Amino acid sequence: MSRTSNPIGRSAALAILSYSAKIFESLQDLFNPIVVKEMKQAVQGKFVSSLLLLLLAVQLLVVGTWVLMTPDVARRFDTGAGMFMTLEGLLLGICILFIPSYTGIRLISERSPANMDLLFITTISPRAIIAGKSLAAAALTLLIFSACMPFMVLTYLMRGIDLPSMFMVLALSFFLVVIAIQMTVFVACVPASRPMQLVLGILELVILFLVFSMTMGTSYSLLFSGIGASLGSWSFWGPALSFGALGLMLTGLLFFLSVALISPASANRALPVRSFMTVAWLLSGAVCILWQRSAYTVETFFPASPFPFHPDAIAFWDCATLGVLALGLLVAASEREVLGPRVTLQIPREAWLRGAAFPFFSGAANGLLWSLLMIALTLAVSSLPVGLGGSRERISSADIGVMGAFALYILAYVMTALFVRRRLLASTVTVSLTWVVALLLLAVGCAMPLSIRYSFVADAWNPSHDLWFLGNPFRVRPDANLIYHVTFAAIWAAVASILNGPWFIRQCKAFRPNPSPRVREGDGR
């Protein structure tokens, strides 16, 4: 039969090939170009390969030395566990230090004005850039973990360790390295000078060292407690899934903050951040309420925690949330007061939708309102009976009063700084530096009364003189002076808010959609 005698078959084959080529091209578009770029440069460079070979050589040296220098290695039943923890410390220490540093240094160099590279000329969205950087670093970490796992699995043959516990410890280590990578990306995106970036880098190294210490202590406790035997029970999966969910929320928060930092100033940068934080607030609060009803504490997840106390879940959530929202007040007061066309194009035209969207959009008044609403909701949740059997065991009304006084003090300082900057320093201090004014006022409010007390008051150490600490949010205690702190902070915050009332009303009235026809706006740069 002739090859051209079946034109229908040839047409069908060509159609299938053409359709397959289109599918392949569409799949190529799904790949993040930043991931491809980073992986290509990592393969062509010498840093990753040198790090991998060095780590493998050190692990081989450790295993060989351990076997040769331990005379009773054949009779001991803890050799495998001890060797595994040594290899785990090497792997975690190198990955949590070098991989985030490698990623952060590359990102800082690409953001430098002297290097007109990726972030200045690309049309790739900020979200794709941050996702590509993080995914590429996570892939390199996974490569290193995969290369080192054969040496670590061999410790199973030396007894004293089981495979499920080993894999759980490795999974925990990998998860924490990914969080460290995202934290480093966030620090690298902060628009600061080189000296300030150096200070932030040192602070991050301190945090990573604490995380490394806590992880090693927790891994040791999990390994020698036989965590692998409890994989079939909820006593393991409950805390594990809860910890994983909170870790993902922290990673997501750092991701969206990084995207906001490298996005154009004219974009609606606060919308994705505040939307994510609201969802994370709901989910983390639900998880911590479940912890509270199950009598879990922070010690459940970090038995080797260096902190001298182990608060219950809801108290830990309250303090962490209020701390983040206090920073949110400082950031909100430093946001712009005039919305650009890129933001007004996204404002809903319906009045009820516009009111609901107002706290989530970029803008100083928007951010202040969102932070206040979230603080009020957090304090309301704190007063709910969520303990065992519906009872409250640890968080009392006095503790809630302490948290409320702290929030009122921060609000008072922020609103006072906003008024001072607008009325007295408008020509010398820009809007973006309002947080600096607030911190200076906070320093004066904390240090000046204390200096006067110890300089001019006799018997200054007498507890009856603690009213000199009025205005200091860090000296609020659940004692007899709490009512004075709450009253003073509430009056101060109310007066400062009233003074800024006309400004806030103008911001609300200016929150109107652009009268021009709505156009579809991408998030390109």
pLDDT tens, residue by residue, 56-68: 888 888 777 777 7
Q: How far apart are CA 148 and CA 125, in angstroms?
A: 35
Is the residue at 246 inside a domain? no
Backbone angles phi, psi at 336, to 5 degrees: -70, 155
Is the residue at 299 inside a domain? yes
Residues 422 and 342 both lie in one domain: yes
Q: How far apart are CA 245 and CA 253, in angstroms?
A: 12
Residues 194 and 313 both lie in one domain: no
Is the residue at 8 inside a domain? no
State residue 480's pLDDT score: 79
Residues 314 and 415 both lie in one domain: yes
Q: What angle do CA 189, 191, 197 make, to 5 degrees?
A: 80
State residue 336's pLDDT score: 86
Residues 429 and 501 both lie in one domain: yes
Is the residue at 523 inside a domain? no
Residues 181 and 326 both lie in one domain: no
Is the residue at 70 inside a domain? yes
Is the residue at 172 inside a domain? yes
Q: How far apart are CA 22 and CA 204, in angstroms?
A: 46
Beta bridge partners of 297: 312
Residues 88 and 210 both lie in one domain: yes
For residue 210, give every residue at least 6 positions away whose Cβ sits within 8 Å of its Cβ, in sequence order, or none: 306
Which alpha helices (DSSP H) does 190-265 contain, by range?
194-224, 234-262
Using alpha carbons, list the distances in angstroms from residue 122 to 26, 78, 107: 21, 55, 14
Give the residue numbers spanning the domain of 437: 258-518
Provide the whole-model pTM: 0.80
CB 31 within 8 A of CB 135: no
For residue 472, give every residue at least 6 positions away whose Cβ sits within 8 Å of its Cβ, in sequence order, or none: 409, 445, 446, 449, 450
Q: How far apart are CA 290 and CA 66, in angstroms?
A: 44
Residue at a domain's end among 231, 266, 300: 231
Name residue 247's amino acid.
G
Residues 193 and 277 both lie in one domain: no
Residues 448 and 483 both lie in one domain: yes
26 alpha carbon, distance to own chain's centre: 33
Residues 76 and 177 both lie in one domain: yes
Q: How far apart are CA 514 and CA 340, in angstroms?
A: 9
Backbone angles phi, psi at 481, to 5 degrees: -85, 0
Residues 222 and 278 both lie in one domain: no
Q: How far apart are CA 292 and CA 172, in angstroms?
A: 23
Full pLDDT tens readout for the chain, 525 residues: 444 456 666 666 666 766 666 665 555 556 677 777 777 777 777 777 787 888 888 888 877 777 777 666 556 666 777 788 888 888 888 889 888 888 888 888 777 655 545 555 567 788 888 888 888 889 889 988 888 888 788 877 777 777 888 888 888 899 999 999 999 999 988 887 778 888 888 888 888 888 888 888 888 887 777 776 677 777 777 778 888 888 899 999 999 999 998 888 888 888 999 999 999 999 988 887 777 666 555 555 555 444 444 456 777 888 889 999 999 999 999 888 888 888 888 888 888 888 888 999 988 999 999 999 999 999 888 877 655 444 445 567 778 888 899 999 999 999 999 999 998 888 888 888 898 999 999 998 888 877 776 666 655 555 555 677 788 888 888 887 888 889 999 999 999 999 999 999 998 888 888 765 544 444 444
Residues 223 and 262 both lie in one domain: no
Is the residue at 400 inside a domain? yes
In this predicted model, what pLDDT tens digit does every residue of 385-414 receive, in sequence order? 655 444 445 567 778 888 899 999 999 999
Is the residue at 162 inside a domain? yes
Backbone angles phi, psi at 297, to 5 degrees: -125, 175
**Tally of domains in the chain:** 2
Residue at a domain's end among 214, 231, 248: 231
Residues 428 and 302 both lie in one domain: yes
